[in-house]
Structure 1
Protein backbone atom coordinates (compact mmCIF):
# COMPACT_ATOMS: atom_id res chain seq x y z
CA UNK A 1 0.00 0.00 0.00
CA UNK A 2 2.92 2.35 0.60
CA UNK A 3 3.59 2.29 -3.14
CA UNK A 4 0.13 3.59 -3.99
CA UNK A 5 1.70 6.96 -4.75
CA UNK A 6 3.44 5.43 -7.77
CA UNK A 7 0.09 4.19 -9.07
CA UNK A 8 -1.43 7.64 -8.61
CA UNK A 9 1.39 9.22 -10.60
CA UNK A 10 1.01 6.68 -13.43
CA UNK A 11 -2.77 7.17 -13.64
CA UNK A 12 -2.51 10.95 -13.37
CA UNK A 13 0.08 11.21 -16.12
CA UNK A 14 -1.83 8.75 -18.31
CA UNK A 15 -4.95 10.91 -17.98
CA UNK A 16 -2.84 14.04 -18.65
CA UNK A 17 -3.92 15.70 -15.41
CA UNK A 18 -2.08 18.66 -13.91
CA UNK A 19 1.46 17.45 -13.15
CA UNK A 20 1.98 19.42 -9.92
CA UNK A 21 -1.43 18.41 -8.57
CA UNK A 22 -0.79 14.74 -9.35
CA UNK A 23 2.60 14.76 -7.60
CA UNK A 24 1.24 16.56 -4.54
CA UNK A 25 -1.72 14.21 -4.23
CA UNK A 26 0.62 11.25 -4.64
CA UNK A 27 2.88 12.53 -1.86
CA UNK A 28 -0.05 13.28 0.42
CA UNK A 29 -1.64 9.85 -0.03
CA UNK A 30 1.70 8.08 0.40
CA UNK A 31 2.33 9.94 3.63
CA UNK A 32 -1.12 9.15 5.03
CA UNK A 33 -0.76 5.47 4.16
CA UNK A 34 2.65 5.45 5.86
CA UNK A 35 1.02 6.74 9.07
CA UNK A 36 2.29 10.30 8.91
CA UNK A 37 0.17 13.17 10.14
CA UNK A 38 -0.87 15.97 7.79
CA UNK A 39 1.55 18.34 9.54
CA UNK A 40 4.43 15.89 9.15
CA UNK A 41 3.66 15.53 5.45
CA UNK A 42 3.73 19.31 4.95
CA UNK A 43 6.99 19.58 6.88
CA UNK A 44 8.56 16.85 4.76
CA UNK A 45 7.43 18.45 1.49
CA UNK A 46 8.58 21.89 2.60
CA UNK A 47 11.99 20.65 3.73
CA UNK A 48 12.50 18.75 0.46
CA UNK A 49 11.66 21.88 -1.54
CA UNK A 50 13.98 24.11 0.48
CA UNK A 51 16.86 21.62 0.34
CA UNK A 52 16.62 21.30 -3.46
CA UNK A 53 15.39 24.77 -4.41
CA UNK A 54 18.51 25.36 -6.52
CA UNK A 55 17.13 22.74 -8.93
CA UNK A 56 14.48 25.22 -10.07
CA UNK A 57 17.06 27.78 -11.22
CA UNK A 58 17.07 26.27 -14.71
CA UNK A 59 13.49 27.56 -15.12
CA UNK A 60 14.88 31.11 -15.22
CA UNK A 61 16.85 30.24 -18.35
CA UNK A 62 13.81 30.07 -20.62
CA UNK A 63 12.34 33.55 -19.97
CA UNK A 64 15.81 35.15 -20.09
CA UNK A 65 16.57 33.55 -23.47
CA UNK A 66 13.09 34.48 -24.69
CA UNK A 67 13.65 38.15 -23.80
CA UNK A 68 17.06 38.13 -25.51
CA UNK A 69 15.57 36.62 -28.66
CA UNK A 70 12.72 39.13 -28.63
CA UNK A 71 15.24 41.97 -28.74
CA UNK A 72 17.27 40.55 -31.61
CA UNK A 73 19.81 38.12 -30.20
CA UNK A 74 19.32 35.61 -33.04
CA UNK A 75 19.44 38.33 -35.71
CA UNK A 76 22.65 39.80 -34.26
CA UNK A 77 24.30 36.39 -34.11
CA UNK A 78 23.36 35.70 -37.72
CA UNK A 79 24.55 39.12 -38.89
CA UNK A 80 27.86 38.77 -37.02
CA UNK A 81 28.79 35.41 -38.50
CA UNK A 82 27.68 36.37 -42.02
CA UNK A 83 30.38 39.06 -42.06
CA UNK A 84 33.18 36.66 -41.19
CA UNK A 85 35.29 35.35 -44.04
CA UNK A 86 36.13 31.67 -44.59
CA UNK A 87 33.66 30.57 -41.90
CA UNK A 88 31.46 27.71 -43.01
CA UNK A 89 28.70 25.99 -41.10
CA UNK A 90 30.82 22.90 -40.52
CA UNK A 91 33.84 24.86 -39.32
CA UNK A 92 31.74 26.87 -36.92
CA UNK A 93 30.14 23.76 -35.44
CA UNK A 94 33.51 22.03 -35.14
CA UNK A 95 34.91 25.06 -33.32
CA UNK A 96 32.00 25.03 -30.90
CA UNK A 97 32.50 21.31 -30.26
CA UNK A 98 36.19 21.90 -29.52
CA UNK A 99 35.35 24.66 -27.03
CA UNK A 100 32.56 22.55 -25.53
CA UNK A 101 34.83 19.54 -24.98
CA UNK A 102 37.56 21.64 -23.38
CA UNK A 103 35.00 23.26 -21.09
CA UNK A 104 33.46 19.90 -20.17
CA UNK A 105 36.89 18.43 -19.44
CA UNK A 106 37.49 21.32 -17.02
CA UNK A 107 33.96 21.02 -15.59
CA UNK A 108 33.05 24.49 -16.84
CA UNK A 109 29.35 24.53 -17.72
CA UNK A 110 29.12 26.95 -20.62
CA UNK A 111 26.88 24.96 -22.92
CA UNK A 112 23.31 23.84 -23.18
CA UNK A 113 20.61 23.63 -25.81
CA UNK A 114 18.49 26.51 -24.47
CA UNK A 115 21.47 28.64 -23.41
CA UNK A 116 23.71 28.36 -26.48
CA UNK A 117 22.43 26.16 -29.28
CA UNK A 118 19.02 27.72 -29.92
CA UNK A 119 19.86 31.43 -29.45
CA UNK A 120 23.46 31.50 -30.70
CA UNK A 121 25.07 28.47 -32.32
CA UNK A 122 22.19 27.44 -34.58
CA UNK A 123 21.52 31.00 -35.87
CA UNK A 124 25.25 31.51 -36.45
CA UNK A 125 25.54 28.19 -38.27
CA UNK A 126 22.58 29.07 -40.47
CA UNK A 127 23.99 32.56 -41.02
CA UNK A 128 27.26 31.06 -42.22
CA UNK A 129 25.33 28.82 -44.64
CA UNK A 130 23.27 31.73 -45.94
CA UNK A 131 26.39 33.85 -46.48
CA UNK A 132 27.99 31.07 -48.54
CA UNK A 133 25.01 29.52 -50.33
CA UNK A 134 22.10 31.95 -50.18
CA UNK A 135 18.70 31.29 -48.66
CA UNK A 136 18.12 27.87 -47.12
CA UNK A 137 15.12 25.62 -47.56
CA UNK A 138 13.40 23.80 -44.69
CA UNK A 139 15.42 20.63 -45.23
CA UNK A 140 18.76 22.41 -44.93
CA UNK A 141 17.59 24.35 -41.89
CA UNK A 142 16.61 21.11 -40.18
CA UNK A 143 19.98 19.53 -41.02
CA UNK A 144 21.83 22.46 -39.49
CA UNK A 145 19.61 22.45 -36.41
CA UNK A 146 20.28 18.75 -35.92
CA UNK A 147 24.02 19.17 -36.43
CA UNK A 148 24.18 22.06 -33.95
CA UNK A 149 22.29 20.07 -31.33
CA UNK A 150 24.56 17.09 -31.95
CA UNK A 151 27.69 19.15 -31.22
CA UNK A 152 26.31 19.99 -27.78
CA UNK A 153 25.50 16.34 -27.11
CA UNK A 154 28.90 15.10 -28.31
CA UNK A 155 30.83 17.65 -26.29
CA UNK A 156 28.90 17.17 -23.08
CA UNK A 157 28.54 13.40 -23.16
CA UNK A 158 31.98 12.33 -24.30
CA UNK A 159 34.18 14.93 -22.60
CA UNK A 160 32.63 15.42 -19.18
CA UNK A 161 34.19 12.24 -17.76
CA UNK A 162 37.67 13.60 -18.43
CA UNK A 163 37.09 15.68 -15.30
CA UNK A 164 38.05 13.34 -12.47
CA UNK A 165 35.38 14.56 -10.04
CA UNK A 166 32.46 14.55 -12.48
CA UNK A 167 29.26 12.74 -11.55
CA UNK A 168 29.77 10.23 -14.36
CA UNK A 169 33.24 9.25 -13.16
CA UNK A 170 32.08 8.87 -9.57
CA UNK A 171 29.12 6.76 -10.69
CA UNK A 172 31.38 4.46 -12.72
CA UNK A 173 33.86 4.20 -9.87
CA UNK A 174 31.17 3.39 -7.30
CA UNK A 175 29.54 0.79 -9.55
CA UNK A 176 32.83 -0.97 -10.30
CA UNK A 177 33.81 -1.00 -6.65
CA UNK A 178 30.51 -2.57 -5.67
CA UNK A 179 31.15 -5.26 -8.27
CA UNK A 180 34.50 -5.99 -6.69
CA UNK A 181 36.79 -4.18 -9.12
CA UNK A 182 39.47 -1.76 -7.96
CA UNK A 183 38.80 1.50 -9.79
CA UNK A 184 40.49 4.85 -9.43
CA UNK A 185 38.80 8.04 -10.58
CA UNK A 186 42.00 9.16 -12.29
CA UNK A 187 42.16 5.96 -14.33
CA UNK A 188 38.54 6.33 -15.43
CA UNK A 189 39.18 9.93 -16.46
CA UNK A 190 42.25 8.90 -18.48
CA UNK A 191 40.26 6.16 -20.20
CA UNK A 192 37.67 8.76 -21.23
CA UNK A 193 40.18 10.84 -23.20
CA UNK A 194 40.29 8.53 -26.28
CA UNK A 195 36.47 8.58 -26.43
CA UNK A 196 36.42 12.38 -26.42
CA UNK A 197 39.08 12.54 -29.15
CA UNK A 198 37.24 9.96 -31.26
CA UNK A 199 33.96 11.88 -30.87
CA UNK A 200 35.68 15.07 -32.02
CA UNK A 201 37.20 13.42 -35.08
CA UNK A 202 33.90 11.79 -36.06
CA UNK A 203 32.09 15.12 -35.66
CA UNK A 204 34.81 16.81 -37.71
CA UNK A 205 34.09 14.42 -40.58
CA UNK A 206 30.33 14.86 -40.19
CA UNK A 207 30.64 18.63 -40.33
CA UNK A 208 32.90 18.42 -43.38
CA UNK A 209 30.29 16.26 -45.13
CA UNK A 210 27.60 18.75 -44.13
CA UNK A 211 29.54 21.58 -45.77
CA UNK A 212 29.98 19.55 -48.93
CA UNK A 213 26.28 18.70 -49.10
CA UNK A 214 25.33 22.35 -48.70
CA UNK A 215 27.86 23.33 -51.36
CA UNK A 216 26.61 20.74 -53.87
CA UNK A 217 23.03 21.72 -53.31
CA UNK A 218 23.92 25.38 -53.76
CA UNK A 219 25.70 24.66 -57.05
CA UNK A 220 22.61 22.93 -58.41
CA UNK A 221 20.43 25.98 -57.89
Structure 2
Protein backbone atom coordinates (compact mmCIF):
# COMPACT_ATOMS: atom_id res chain seq x y z
CA UNK A 1 0.00 0.00 0.00
CA UNK A 2 2.86 2.35 0.83
CA UNK A 3 4.15 1.96 -2.73
CA UNK A 4 0.91 3.38 -4.07
CA UNK A 5 1.05 6.37 -1.72
CA UNK A 6 3.96 7.71 -3.76
CA UNK A 7 1.51 8.21 -6.63
CA UNK A 8 -0.27 10.87 -4.55
CA UNK A 9 2.03 13.36 -6.23
CA UNK A 10 0.19 12.72 -9.50
CA UNK A 11 -3.11 13.42 -7.75
CA UNK A 12 -1.70 16.73 -6.49
CA UNK A 13 -0.82 17.71 -10.08
CA UNK A 14 -4.28 16.78 -11.40
CA UNK A 15 -6.14 18.62 -8.64
CA UNK A 16 -3.86 21.66 -8.82
CA UNK A 17 -4.24 22.04 -12.58
CA UNK A 18 -7.99 21.43 -12.35
CA UNK A 19 -8.24 24.30 -9.83
CA UNK A 20 -6.04 26.42 -12.13
CA UNK A 21 -3.47 27.08 -9.48
CA UNK A 22 0.03 28.38 -10.20
CA UNK A 23 1.76 25.56 -12.20
CA UNK A 24 5.11 26.18 -10.51
CA UNK A 25 3.57 25.81 -7.05
CA UNK A 26 1.63 22.71 -8.13
CA UNK A 27 4.70 20.93 -9.50
CA UNK A 28 6.76 21.90 -6.44
CA UNK A 29 4.06 20.62 -4.06
CA UNK A 30 3.79 17.41 -6.09
CA UNK A 31 7.55 16.83 -5.93
CA UNK A 32 7.66 17.44 -2.17
CA UNK A 33 4.68 15.13 -1.62
CA UNK A 34 6.24 12.38 -3.71
CA UNK A 35 9.59 12.69 -1.94
CA UNK A 36 8.17 12.67 1.59
CA UNK A 37 5.81 9.74 0.90
CA UNK A 38 8.70 7.93 -0.78
CA UNK A 39 10.59 7.87 2.49
CA UNK A 40 12.82 10.92 2.13
CA UNK A 41 13.21 13.48 4.86
CA UNK A 42 11.81 16.96 4.11
CA UNK A 43 15.33 18.42 4.29
CA UNK A 44 16.55 15.79 1.81
CA UNK A 45 13.78 16.75 -0.63
CA UNK A 46 14.71 20.44 -0.43
CA UNK A 47 18.38 19.51 -0.82
CA UNK A 48 17.51 17.61 -4.00
CA UNK A 49 15.85 20.75 -5.37
CA UNK A 50 18.94 22.82 -4.59
CA UNK A 51 21.32 20.22 -6.04
CA UNK A 52 19.34 20.00 -9.31
CA UNK A 53 19.25 23.78 -9.62
CA UNK A 54 22.98 24.05 -8.93
CA UNK A 55 23.80 21.41 -11.57
CA UNK A 56 21.66 23.20 -14.18
CA UNK A 57 22.68 26.81 -13.68
CA UNK A 58 21.79 27.78 -17.23
CA UNK A 59 18.15 27.86 -16.07
CA UNK A 60 18.95 31.13 -14.26
CA UNK A 61 19.54 32.79 -17.64
CA UNK A 62 15.75 33.03 -17.94
CA UNK A 63 15.71 35.53 -15.09
CA UNK A 64 18.03 37.75 -17.13
CA UNK A 65 16.27 37.44 -20.50
CA UNK A 66 12.71 38.03 -19.34
CA UNK A 67 13.35 41.39 -17.61
CA UNK A 68 15.27 42.59 -20.66
CA UNK A 69 12.36 41.73 -22.97
CA UNK A 70 9.94 43.35 -20.52
CA UNK A 71 11.97 46.58 -20.45
CA UNK A 72 12.22 46.65 -24.24
CA UNK A 73 8.45 46.24 -24.56
CA UNK A 74 7.86 48.91 -21.92
CA UNK A 75 9.90 51.40 -23.92
CA UNK A 76 8.15 50.71 -27.21
CA UNK A 77 9.71 47.66 -28.85
CA UNK A 78 6.41 46.47 -30.33
CA UNK A 79 5.49 49.97 -31.54
CA UNK A 80 8.89 50.36 -33.18
CA UNK A 81 8.52 46.97 -34.89
CA UNK A 82 5.14 48.06 -36.27
CA UNK A 83 6.60 51.32 -37.58
CA UNK A 84 9.37 49.44 -39.39
CA UNK A 85 6.82 47.33 -41.28
CA UNK A 86 4.62 50.33 -42.07
CA UNK A 87 7.61 52.05 -43.69
CA UNK A 88 8.49 49.05 -45.89
CA UNK A 89 6.94 49.05 -49.34
CA UNK A 90 5.43 45.77 -50.49
CA UNK A 91 5.57 44.18 -47.04
CA UNK A 92 2.71 41.76 -46.42
CA UNK A 93 1.91 39.43 -43.56
CA UNK A 94 2.45 36.34 -45.72
CA UNK A 95 5.87 37.44 -46.99
CA UNK A 96 7.02 38.48 -43.52
CA UNK A 97 6.07 35.18 -41.86
CA UNK A 98 7.51 33.25 -44.81
CA UNK A 99 10.89 34.94 -44.26
CA UNK A 100 10.67 34.18 -40.54
CA UNK A 101 9.89 30.53 -41.35
CA UNK A 102 13.06 30.33 -43.46
CA UNK A 103 15.09 31.96 -40.69
CA UNK A 104 13.66 29.63 -38.03
CA UNK A 105 14.25 26.47 -40.03
CA UNK A 106 17.80 27.37 -41.06
CA UNK A 107 18.92 28.37 -37.56
CA UNK A 108 17.27 25.27 -36.04
CA UNK A 109 19.02 23.09 -38.63
CA UNK A 110 22.33 24.58 -37.43
CA UNK A 111 21.48 23.75 -33.81
CA UNK A 112 20.64 27.34 -32.85
CA UNK A 113 17.25 26.48 -31.42
CA UNK A 114 17.35 29.17 -28.71
CA UNK A 115 18.06 32.22 -30.87
CA UNK A 116 14.31 32.65 -31.44
CA UNK A 117 11.08 31.48 -29.84
CA UNK A 118 7.64 32.54 -28.61
CA UNK A 119 9.03 34.68 -25.77
CA UNK A 120 12.19 35.96 -27.45
CA UNK A 121 10.91 36.94 -30.90
CA UNK A 122 7.26 36.07 -31.61
CA UNK A 123 5.56 38.11 -28.89
CA UNK A 124 7.79 41.23 -28.94
CA UNK A 125 8.66 41.35 -32.66
CA UNK A 126 7.14 38.89 -35.13
CA UNK A 127 3.49 39.07 -34.02
CA UNK A 128 3.33 42.92 -33.92
CA UNK A 129 5.07 43.12 -37.31
CA UNK A 130 2.70 40.55 -38.84
CA UNK A 131 -0.28 42.41 -37.42
CA UNK A 132 0.98 45.72 -38.80
CA UNK A 133 1.59 44.16 -42.22
CA UNK A 134 -1.93 42.71 -42.28
CA UNK A 135 -3.45 46.09 -41.35
CA UNK A 136 -1.32 47.80 -43.99
CA UNK A 137 -2.68 45.65 -46.83
CA UNK A 138 -6.16 44.93 -45.48
CA UNK A 139 -7.10 47.80 -43.23
CA UNK A 140 -8.48 47.52 -39.74
CA UNK A 141 -8.71 43.90 -38.57
CA UNK A 142 -11.61 42.35 -36.74
CA UNK A 143 -10.87 40.68 -33.41
CA UNK A 144 -11.14 37.22 -34.95
CA UNK A 145 -8.76 38.14 -37.78
CA UNK A 146 -6.30 39.66 -35.31
CA UNK A 147 -6.28 36.48 -33.23
CA UNK A 148 -5.73 34.40 -36.35
CA UNK A 149 -2.76 36.55 -37.36
CA UNK A 150 -1.21 36.16 -33.91
CA UNK A 151 -1.89 32.41 -33.94
CA UNK A 152 -0.31 32.04 -37.38
CA UNK A 153 2.78 33.89 -36.12
CA UNK A 154 3.19 31.44 -33.24
CA UNK A 155 2.49 28.47 -35.54
CA UNK A 156 5.23 29.61 -37.93
CA UNK A 157 7.76 29.53 -35.11
CA UNK A 158 6.63 26.05 -34.04
CA UNK A 159 6.74 24.60 -37.56
CA UNK A 160 10.15 26.11 -38.30
CA UNK A 161 11.66 24.76 -35.08
CA UNK A 162 10.00 21.34 -35.12
CA UNK A 163 10.95 20.42 -38.69
CA UNK A 164 14.28 22.25 -38.73
CA UNK A 165 15.92 20.90 -35.58
CA UNK A 166 15.92 17.28 -36.76
CA UNK A 167 18.43 18.20 -39.47
CA UNK A 168 21.00 18.95 -36.75
CA UNK A 169 22.84 15.72 -35.90
CA UNK A 170 23.40 16.49 -32.21
CA UNK A 171 19.82 17.33 -31.26
CA UNK A 172 18.08 15.25 -28.59
CA UNK A 173 15.25 14.14 -30.90
CA UNK A 174 17.72 12.57 -33.36
CA UNK A 175 19.45 10.67 -30.56
CA UNK A 176 16.05 9.50 -29.26
CA UNK A 177 15.03 8.22 -32.71
CA UNK A 178 18.39 6.49 -33.08
CA UNK A 179 17.93 4.76 -29.73
CA UNK A 180 14.42 3.55 -30.59
CA UNK A 181 15.55 2.13 -33.93
CA UNK A 182 18.50 0.44 -32.22
CA UNK A 183 16.16 -1.43 -29.85
CA UNK A 184 14.50 -3.00 -32.90
CA UNK A 185 17.80 -3.94 -34.53
CA UNK A 186 18.16 -1.04 -36.97
CA UNK A 187 21.60 0.51 -36.59
CA UNK A 188 21.42 4.03 -38.00
CA UNK A 189 23.84 6.89 -37.52
CA UNK A 190 22.65 10.38 -36.51
CA UNK A 191 23.89 11.65 -39.88
CA UNK A 192 21.62 9.24 -41.76
CA UNK A 193 18.60 10.35 -39.74
CA UNK A 194 19.47 14.01 -40.25
CA UNK A 195 19.78 13.59 -44.02
CA UNK A 196 16.36 11.94 -44.19
CA UNK A 197 14.89 14.80 -42.15
CA UNK A 198 15.72 17.26 -44.95
CA UNK A 199 12.87 16.20 -47.32
CA UNK A 200 10.40 16.45 -44.44
CA UNK A 201 11.63 19.95 -43.58
CA UNK A 202 11.32 21.02 -47.23
CA UNK A 203 7.75 19.67 -47.42
CA UNK A 204 6.87 21.43 -44.16
CA UNK A 205 8.23 24.69 -45.55
CA UNK A 206 6.15 24.51 -48.74
CA UNK A 207 2.99 23.35 -46.96
CA UNK A 208 3.09 25.96 -44.21
CA UNK A 209 4.36 28.61 -46.61
CA UNK A 210 1.32 27.96 -48.82
CA UNK A 211 -0.94 28.29 -45.78
CA UNK A 212 0.62 31.65 -44.97
CA UNK A 213 0.17 33.03 -48.48
CA UNK A 214 -3.40 31.71 -48.77
CA UNK A 215 -4.29 33.22 -45.40
CA UNK A 216 -2.79 36.52 -46.48
CA UNK A 217 -4.82 36.41 -49.69
CA UNK A 218 -8.02 35.60 -47.79
CA UNK A 219 -7.50 38.69 -45.62
CA UNK A 220 -7.30 40.87 -48.71
CA UNK A 221 -10.58 39.47 -50.01
CA UNK A 222 -12.38 40.04 -46.71
CA UNK A 223 -14.12 43.45 -46.53
CA UNK A 224 -12.56 45.65 -43.90
CA UNK A 225 -14.88 46.29 -40.91
CA UNK A 226 -16.72 49.60 -41.10
CA UNK A 227 -16.19 52.33 -38.58
CA UNK A 228 -19.03 53.11 -36.17
CA UNK A 229 -19.88 56.36 -38.01
CA UNK A 230 -20.26 54.53 -41.34
CA UNK A 231 -22.79 51.98 -40.10
Indicate whether the TM-score tops 0.5. Answer: yes
**Kindly tell me: are residues 23 and 52 of structure 1, through their superposed partners in 2, closer, same or farther at Cα, counting changes over 3 Å?**
farther
- 1:87 partnered with 2:88: no
Q: Which residue of 2 aligns with 1:76?
A: 80
Q: Which residue of 2 aligns with 1:7?
A: 8
Query: 1:204 aligns to what SS in structure 2?
Result: helix
Cα distance in 1 for partners of 2:134, 2:27 equals 43
Of 183-192 and 126-135, deviating more is: 126-135
Q: Which residue of 2 aligns with 1:197?
A: 202
Q: Which residue of 2 aligns with 1:173?
A: 178
**Which of 32, 42, 47 in structure 1 is aligned with 2:51?**
47
Give CA deviations for 1:111-141 in whole Å, capped at 9, x if unaligned: 1111111110010011111222222111111
Cα distance in 1 for partners of 2:28, 2:167 equals 41
- 1:139 partnered with 2:140: no
Cα distance in 2 for partners of 1:150, 1:39 equals 43
**Kindly tell me: are residues 37 and 181 of structure 1, through their superposed partners in 2, closer, same or farther at Cα, counting changes over 3 Å?**
same
**Kindly tell me: are residues 152 and 164 of structure 1, through their superposed partners in 2, closer, same or farther at Cα, counting changes over 3 Å?**
same
Give the deviation of 1:193 after TM superposition.
Answer: 0.2
**Which of 95, 105, 114 in structure 1 is aligned with 2:119?**
114
Cα distance in 2 for partners of 1:12, 1:150 equals 28
**Kindly tell me: are residues 61 and 27 of structure 1, through their superposed partners in 2, closer, same or farther at Cα, counting changes over 3 Å?**
farther
- 1:164 partnered with 2:169: yes
Of 54-63 and 141-150, deviating more is: 54-63
Cα distance in 2 for partners of 1:81, 1:12 equals 44
Cα distance in 1 for partners of 2:41, 2:138 equals 67
**Aligned 8 A contact 1:9 1:26 in 2:** no
Residue ranges of structure 2 left out of the alignment (5+ in a row):
227-231
TM-score, length basis structure 1: 0.88
- 1:25 partnered with 2:29: no
What is the aligned-residue RMSD (CA, Å)?
Answer: 2.3
TM-score, length basis structure 2: 0.85
Q: Which residue of 1 aligns with 2:229?
A: none
**Kindly tell me: are residues 4 and 149 of structure 1, through their superposed partners in 2, closer, same or farther at Cα, counting changes over 3 Å?**
same
Cα distance in 2 for partners of 1:201, 1:61 equals 33
Of 103-112 and 191-200, deviating more is: 103-112
Query: 1:158 aligns to what SS in structure 2?
Result: helix
Cα distance in 2 for partners of 1:162, 1:111 equals 17
Residue ranges of structure 1 left out of the alignment (5+ in a row):
none
Cα distance in 1 for partners of 2:46, 2:52 equals 10
**Aligned 8 A contact 2:140 2:224 in 1:** no
**Aligned 8 A contact 2:13 2:27 in 1:** no
Give the deviation of 1:24 after TM superposition.
Answer: 5.1
